[in-house]
Amino acid sequence: MNMKRLIVAFGCALLLTGCASQQPANNAAFIDRPQLQIDPEVNYFAAVSEMLEERVSQPDGSSLLKIQYAVEARSDADLAWKITWFDNNGMQVKGVGEGYRKASLLTGQTRYFTAVAPHARVTDYQLHLREPKQ
């Protein structure tokens, strides 16, 4: 009986090991990067209600990643946001500038913001929302 249990347990363990995600060869496997990063202070006055992405077709057959997100304001406030773009290997792809874009929100207002990736090789992004100090 004990031997039977041992064999079953061993078999299950082998199966589980087989199902576990394999370590891919490229470095992207080691990246644990959330697409949406919201500072705790922002949660007091706003919430992200939508987060959409699509690839915009270009005349030469390529496409660019475009994202759109919506913010619902609970009170009048200022918001700063920045998108960092990444390629398939997780490497950053530079855009025009590095600074945060500022936006003002009115109570009850829903604002939609969009951004287009600077290069066709962009496949991922990180959106950071924070409260500007000035």
Partner 1 sequence: MFKLSLVRFVVISTGLLILAGCAAPTRYIDPAADDGAVAMGMDYRDFEKAATEAVDSMLESGAVTNPNGGRYIMVVSRISNDTMQRIDTDQLTKKIRVALLRSGKVVTTTAVGLNGAEDEMSMRARELRNSEEFDQSGVQRKGTLQAPDLSLSGKILQRNLTVGKEQQVEYYVQLSLTDLASGLAFWEGETPIIKRGSNKSVSW
Nearer to partner 1 by C-beta: 27 or 104?
104
**Minimum distance, C-beta of residue 116 to partner 1, in the bound complex (Å):** 5
Nearer to partner 1 by C-beta: 73 or 117?
117
Instruction: Report residue 43 as tokens.
Output: 């949660």
Contacts of 80 (CB under 8 A, 6+ apart): 100, 101, 102, 103, 129, 130, 131, 132
Shortest CA distance to 46 belongs to which of 130, 132, 117, 113?
130
Nearer to partner 1 by C-beta: 38 or 120?
120
**Minimum distance, C-beta of residue 52 to partner 1, in the bound complex (Å):** 14
Q: Under the rule (CB under 8 A), what is the footprint of partner 1?
A: 56-60, 62, 64, 66, 80, 94-99, 101, 114-120, 132-134
**Minimum distance, C-beta of residue 121 to partner 1, in the bound complex (Å):** 9
Shortest CA distance to 51 belongs to which of 106, 117, 125?
125
